[in-house]
Structure 1
Amino acid sequence: MMVLAAGEVSPGLLGFVVVALLGFALYFLVKSMNKQMGKIEVPHERDLADEERELEKKAE
Structure 2
Amino acid sequence: LSEAKLELAGRTPLFNYGGQEILIQQLQDEIERLTKKYSELRPKLNDNNGNSNDDGINVTEV
Q: TM-score, normalised by structure 2?
A: 0.49
How far apart, CA to CA, are the structure 2 residues paired with 1:32 and 1:44?
21
Alignment match, 1:24: 29
Structure 1: gaps of 5 or more residues: 46-60
Alignment match, 1:49: none
Alignment match, 2:45: 40
**RMSD (Å), alpha carbons:** 2.8
How far apart, CA to CA, are the structure 2 residues paired with 1:44 and 1:11?
51
Larger-gyration structure (1/2)? 1
Structure 2: gaps of 5 or more residues: 1-6, 52-62
More helix per residue: 1
Structure 1 pair 44/35, CA: closer, same or farther in 2 (3 Å)?
A: closer
Percent identity over the alignment is 10
